[in-house]
Amino acid sequence: MARPPRKAPARRRGKNARSGAGRAAPPPAERPVPLPPSPIDMADDAVEEALRTGAQPGLLEDLFGPAGYAELSQLARQASTRSVRGGERVLILHGIMGSKLGFPGTWPFQDVVWIDPADIFGGRLALLRLGPAGDPGRVRSLGVLLAAYLALKLRLRIAGHDAEFWHYDWRLGLDRLGAELARAIDAVPGRTTHLVAHSMGGLVARAALRHRPRNLQEGRIVTLGTPHFGSYSPVQAFRGVHSVVNKVALIDTRHDPAELAGIFGTFPGLLEMMPSPRLRRLDLFDPASWPARGTRPDAAMLAAARKAQTDLPEPDDRFLLIVGNGHETVVDARLDAEKDEFVYDLAPEGDGTVPLDLAVVPGRPTWVTAAGHGGMPNSASVARAVDTLLATGRTDELPVFDAARGVRRAVAARSVSDSALAARIPPPAQRGRALAAREQRSLLAEFAAPPEPTAESTAGARRDTGDGTGGLLSNFVVLRRQRQRLDIDLVCGSITDVRADAYVIGAFRNVAPGGAAAAVDQELGGALSQLIERRMVSGEAGEVTCFPTGRHRFGAQSVILAGLGSVTEYVDDVLELVGENIMRTALLTRLDDFAIVPIGAATGGTAAGALEHLLRGFVRALATVPGGRLRGLTICELDADRFAELRETFHRLLRSDLFGEVEVTLNERELPAPAVTRATGPAPLRQAVYLLTRQEVAADGRASVVASVLTAGGKAAIVQGRMPVDDTALDQQARALARRGLPLARDADRFGATLAKSVLAPEIREVLARELAGPSQPPLVVVHDAPTSRIPWETLRLGEISPALAGGLTHRYDGGVLSVAKWNEERARTPGLSMLLVVNPTEDLEGAEAEGERIQVMLSRRPEIRLTVLHRKEARRNTLIERFQSGEYDVVHYAGHAFFDPDNRGRSGIICAGEEVLAGADLAALRQLPSLVFFNACEAARVRRPGQQQEATDQPIRSTVSFAESFLAGGVANYLGTYWPVGDAGAAAFADAFYSGLLRGDPLGRALIDGRAKVRERNLGDWANYVLYGNPEFRLTPG
């Protein structure tokens, strides 16, 4: 819906107050009271924060468009979790008209004049007129046009570059801007700086070379569509016939095109970008070369512009060029016979604004993009090229410009005159209308294009059915110079309802199947879940695992599971790698076809964005596998809205050069709703919410906890955030917790609330509280690296919710390679429990003796539990290994010394009689192991280090995690431990409820919640002390 022009609020300004469209604009020296804020008025940092947190979605959709908002939100969240880790500094310079001009305001809003449609409607463009000697007055550059440039910055930061904008007042001359840029480059002493400069920004970069900035000596300068030898857009702007002037005139009620040209005519930055007389016959810096009629610059300004262009340093060996080609561009201009107007020659030799021969600098490395001038910063392929150019000085992401062919002057395909262009300007009666949001975003598309496809980009891939909605396509062929043919079906329906050689699903590391993967798993009777539970599939990024479906009643002969890596480290390039490996697998195994969903769409982006990255990977593999042939593939989407989004994206991609020489035949179909829902496997498990954390330390030593939340449900999404933390304080907190514990339940509540605020970003706390609330209360799975393992996540409290007590909280370790889990399947089908109790092998722990006696007394009342006790000297290492691999035990409960090796945590383990260590590494070669190892740390002094007799470790929580990692790496499926010494009352209450639940056949997670709840009923803080590494749905007995 179009936003009507805003009216100035009532105010006491006397005769200077504006009262209507017919009043003359105020003089530039006076700053009118600002209009109410609009999306364009938001400060750049406020917009980035809102994109990252999900705030202000309505305003930002108006600013970027729905597709652009979705893409930028995803990029902002990804960038917020990436540490540049001292990456080299990169300054991004926008192009002509690419910054917001106006007056500073009260954060988060500014008073933007350029380019706010409401301000243009009110005639405020007159405020941009430069005063004598180029005085800009009080108008300032306020930031960049984020719709055009933010994607480039975020993509570079995701790639590890310390990228920031350097915005400037593009009205000013190059010499002045070059001096300002040089000062900005050297503002951080000793910091190598690179420049990425779009359009006019490349000329500003050249101007800065005159001042020899020290930090740029080793830097690279990548220019995008820079008119190194000029462009005809400034000429048309001065004549008042440029398309941007036309669009501005459409909404400006105070100025006609000639008056607008008079305003633009005061900007030396425009004049200095006119075509160089070195490459064109018509010398536009000579007043005699301009038409006798119409607006024209004065002689003094032309002379100054000639000098500024002549004095501009030539691009040296630091410059790397990206130029555009294939767009109709004004390539020359001449006076008509009467010398009353310009006639412009147009040809498809340029980027739409800059002719190719005026963009290329002989001798400088140059690459070519199909993106238009304004769209280069938003192009993902251009961003990838910039990344590799900054890092290595070369790139394979774009074709190299053929310097041997040289640049030939384009032959005009058609010509158009000033008067013909002026005739396109709406008459006064049609001007002053409100612009639709889409029109506002495209106001400067020639110079700074928004991040969304235009209507024209998809028009050729649609068929109208007459109802205005566009019908589904059938056998729609996009012909190309054929090297490969591919049939692609877009299907609105479930992947399990189509037939193909293989189904392709995705899986993140340490995350159970969800969405389409869960549906396929259900059809396979839970086979995928079991393979993942046994850690037979890792989910590493790019890893591809094929499973035959055997005798299952299934629509595919095999399932291909594609690993997406860690949620916290996911970037778009991962999905392209995944797509490439999926297609490579299909080609090498000679599949006829496969069906896939837009995997990776949950990462905060869109299904359409995921599809585009997958397709890029597919096409790359098709081009690199010799002799590879695939008949086709089916892309499935169950949700109707997402399917419509996929269609639009696919149509746009068909019009692009993505498919290269692949001839594509497109079919679209909608599957009928299934009459009967099949349920061949066990009832699906409750889907968990995942909290994935890792710690990053910047070059200056500052630490942050990077967290991602993967929500539950069919439309799972990922929210990411970063929280600065005090690393030393976390260690001190862990030591204090190990010494004192949390005596009372209220102590645990207070501690957990403080912990949440100190380690989790506000947006993470908010989404966790929302997802974990309500009647469903999904379980929370915390996946962490080694540094964040010291955080006692069980204590976490979010408002009134303690996740460990609600739906349950369990751990998965994401810090190393874990062995395949090896439990005895027969034991899991046998009623009752068989337990091995190991008590005080070193004969020096009174607390261990007491614990052993308590466990024996308690379990003696439970005939369903078969108890074997190894006491003191009986618990020798060889004896324990024999018992571990016997397959006789469900649970090992250990009460004794632990051995902690911080340098080789895989060697950490338990101390046996005779001071021998049984480490997790010793279990790796054993065939079958107990399903659960329970280590209850009743005495902090149980932990020893290499070469020491006995010590209360200074890393208590890390040592607990080390034991878990060691045993999991050895093949133990589940590990239950504690953070601090447990009191007798709490330990007894927990053990009774926990083992009772296991005997009923409850899964580990449910039994753990019951045990915690029983301890809390006694008002004890020990309820938060128990930590489970493993699968909360694991059942030790059928009950």
Residue range 825-978 forms a domain whose CATH class is alpha beta
Q: Which H/E stretch holds residue 392?
A: helix 380-392
Where do you find CATH 3.40.50.1820 in the chain?
Answer: 37-422
pTM above 0.75, yes or no: no
Query: Which DSSP state fits 685?
Result: P
**C-alpha span between 380 and 156 (Å, rounded):** 10
Residues 6+ apart with CB under 8 A from 907: 899, 901, 917, 919, 921, 966
Q: What is the tens place of the pLDDT at every residue in 412-466? A: 678 999 888 887 766 665 555 555 555 565 555 555 555 544 333 333 333 333 3
* Euclidean distance between CA atoms 251 and 238, whole angstroms: 19
CATH of 37-422, one of 3.40.50.1820, 3.90.640.10, 3.40.50.2300, 3.40.50.10490: 3.40.50.1820
Assign domain 476-670 to its CATH architecture.
Answer: 3-Layer(aba) Sandwich (3.40)
pLDDT confidence bin for 1039, thresholds 50/70/90 = low
∠ CA 366-370-371, rounded to 5°: 100
- Tell me the CB-side half-sphere exposure of residue 650, using CA atoms within 13 A: 29
- Residue 144 φ/ψ, nearest 5 degrees: -95, 165
Residue with tokens 């598309």: 445
Among 129-138, 555-564, 619-628, 803-812, the range scoring the smallest mean pLDDT is 619-628
Nearest to 382 by CA among 444, 325, 326, 322: 322
Identity of the highest mean pLDDT range in 322-331, 639-648, 972-981: 322-331
Distance of CA 956 to the CA centre of its chain: 35
Instruction: Look at residues 442, 392, 462 and name the one whose alpha carbon lies nearest to residue 148.
Output: 442
Q: What is the mean pLDDT of residues 385-405?
A: 88
Q: What pLDDT sits at residue 463?
A: 38
pLDDT of 23 reads: 32
Residue 99 DSSP SS3: strand
pLDDT for 768 equals 92
pLDDT tens digit string along 767-793? Answer: 899 888 877 788 999 988 888 888 999
Q: Residue 320's pLDDT is what?
A: 97
- CATH 3.40.220.10: which residues of the chain? 476-670
Residue 836's SS3 state is strand
Q: How confident is the model at residue 218 (pLDDT cuts 50, 70, 90)?
A: very high
Mean pLDDT of 950-960: 45
Q: Provide the token pair at 874.
A: 């009986």
Q: How many CA atoms lie within 13 A of 25 on its CB side?
A: 23
pLDDT in tens, 471-530: 666 555 555 555 578 889 999 988 888 888 889 988 888 787 777 777 887 887 777 777
Query: Quick one: pLDDT band at residue 354, thresholds 50, 70, 90?
Result: very high
